[in-house]
Amino acid sequence: AQSVSQHNHHVILSEAASLELGCNYSYGGTVNLFWYVQYPGQHLQLLLKYFSGDPLVKGIKGFEAEFIKSKFSFNLRKPSVQWSDTAEYFCAVIRSGNTGKLIFGQGTTLQVKP
Amino acid sequence: GAVVSQHPSWVICKSGTSVKIECRSLDFQATTMFWYRQFPKQSLMLMATSNEGSKATYEQGVEKDKFLINHASLTLSTLTVTSAHPEDSSFYICSLTSGRGGNTQYFGPGTRLTVL
């Protein structure tokens, strides 16, 4: 079935460690890609997005993601995490022509230990 | 980004009753809003697309008579869970696209529904 897959369900890191969260999708054709973050008790916030152009996208709070079309991937990275990055991270995809129909991955819980 | 509010933030109701959840766009007019459902420790599932002035478009498997959506104005969409049952207990989240950001969606804070 066509889907969005996040490989890591729960990640635990120490502060200053590097982060990479995997995201793969199985749709062919053009897609718009997103990473959202949900801090404890808060609503979903957009971290970054890719529509076209440079496949390396920089977002807020030092996050970046790289779109690799041949691998159908859009992995999220941060060189050095902070305790405040503890949150739930969601990868999401909109297929071309399906305006607004966000398909979410399962989410990854990131726990950063101080 | 757009500012989206939801009311109420949480609600507890008895089985068989109906509950209305409001989603408001506070800083611009939204012709399209979306309703999602999130179960604990799970991802968001799109339930329906709410279109101002017309009928909502429901995703496969979502009962349109169970989850009534009304988008009567450009700043308000409502989701009514009719004859609620305990299995309807969930976190309901709305979102909208600003138009300025293309397909970027901005999310409300969500409504926690508990059906006893």
Q: What share of chain B in percent tops pLDDT 90?
A: 64
Contact B103/A51, CB-based, under 8 Å?
A: yes
What chain A holds in terms of domains, given with CATH numbers, is: 4-113 (2.60.40.10)
- Strands A45-50, A31-38: pairing is antiparallel
Mean predicted confidence (pLDDT) in B65-75: 91
How confident is the model at residue A93, as a pLDDT?
93
Sign of CA dihedral A36, A41, A43, A46: negative
- Interface residues of chain B, partner chain A, Cβ below 8 Å: 1, 4, 32, 34, 42-46, 49, 93, 95, 97, 101-110
Residue A113 pLDDT grade (very low, low, confident, very high; cuts 50, 70, 90): very high
Helix (H, G, I), strand (E, B) or coil at A59: coil
CB B74 within 8 A of CB B26: no
Q: How confident is the model at residue A1 (pLDDT cuts 50, 70, 90)?
A: low
Token duo for residue A57 = 């996208």
Q: What is the mean pLDDT of chain A?
A: 92
| Residue A91, amino acid | C
From chain A, the residues in CB contact with B109 under 8 A are 42-43
Pairing of strands A73-78, A56-58: unpaired
Q: Is B81 exposed, middle or buried (0-12, 13-18, 19+ CB in 10 A)?
A: buried
Mean pLDDT value across residues A6-24: 95
Instruction: Inform me whether the pLDDT recorded for B22 exceeds 70.
Output: yes
In whole angstroms, give the CA distance from residue A99 to residue B103. Answer: 6
> pLDDT digit string (tens) for B44-59?
999 999 888 888 999 9
Q: Is residue B102 very low, low, confident or very high in pLDDT (cuts 50, 70, 90)?
A: low
